[in-house]
Amino acid sequence: MKNSFHFLLTKSIGLYINLLSFVFPKKAGHIAHAFYSEPRKGKLSKKKLPKILQESHSETFQYEEDCIQSYTWKGNKTVILLVHGWESNSSRWENLLPYLKKSGSTIIAIDGPAQGLSSGKEFTILKYAEFIHLIVEKFKPQYLIGHSMGGQTCLYYQYKYQSPSIEKMVILGAPSDFKILFNNFISLLSLNTRISKTLEKKYIKILNRNLEQFSGKLFASKIDVKGLVAHDIDDKVVLFEEAKKIVGAWKDVQFIETSGLGHKLHDDDLYKKVSLFLFD
């Protein structure tokens, strides 16, 4: 019943945008872009902050017009930075944190644009990478861990900034190709060619490159640090083939194939392997 309602809702939204495109094309393009770039889940309230985040040292950083929310579990001089994915927030790391804390490391998590307690309406990988860069420059983490779109952002970040402090990266359930995500969105809403071309032109301008060129596979091929990629063969959100593209391009990478964990990848055995990769 829930799946049927979601299907009808998305198709209804797509039909509305398609019809609007013939009368007010700019407005239709704006609405389509909003559905693609504005998270509808993942926001947090300071009054109802998850317990795991209450246990951290909370700090807000200003970046241009944005506020970046960070959470720090203090430890030694070894620093780990955690980067969550789409429609999520820093509380998603609750299950992994105990394994990382055993190392005695300082652990920092940030809320992405328009998620958690960070400001903004839109989520873009480019802006998220800028958030990461501010934190990396300040705290010099040796290890970077990203899940889903956060994982793709980590790949893009290291590709663009080539941070010398980063020694190892862990990428969990991350997509590779922006073009596939874009096409999936067009298909989900059954948007017409008029809208899809308008959106594609918009994102070519935002990304400053063709959509095919914005790829985790390309980013990974330019990264020199050691990597660990984990992906579940049953992932229905990001297909397993996406991980294989990233792994195939990365010079120094380990690959963990899981089964039955889905997209979230919460698993004690996997987290033990992540810890072993980082600290062994």
State the pairing for strand pair 66-73/57-63.
antiparallel
pLDDT, tens digit, for every residue of 33-88? 998 999 999 999 999 999 999 999 999 999 888 999 999 999 999 999 999 999 99
Residue 73, judged by CB atoms within 10 A of its CB (0-12, 13-18, 19+), counts as: buried
pLDDT the model gives residue 7:
62
| pLDDT band, residue 99 (cuts 50/70/90) | very high
| pLDDT band, residue 1 (cuts 50/70/90) | low
Q: Are 121 and 38 a contacting pair, CB within 8 Å?
A: yes
SS3 content of the chain, % helix, strand, coil (to 5): 50, 20, 35
Structural domains in the chain, CATH included, are 38-177+215-279 (3.40.50.1820)
Residue 111, judged by CB atoms within 10 A of its CB (0-12, 13-18, 19+), counts as: buried
The DSSP secondary-structure symbol of 116 reads B
Supply the pTM of this predicted model.
0.94
The residues, any chain, with a CB within 8 Å of residue 123's CB and separated by 6 or more, are 37, 38, 39, 86, 112, 113, 114, 115, 149
Hey, what are 187's tokens? Answer: 């298909």
pLDDT, tens digit, for every residue of 112-160? 999 999 999 999 999 999 999 999 999 999 999 999 999 999 999 999 9
Q: Are 90 and 110 a contacting pair, CB within 8 Å?
A: yes
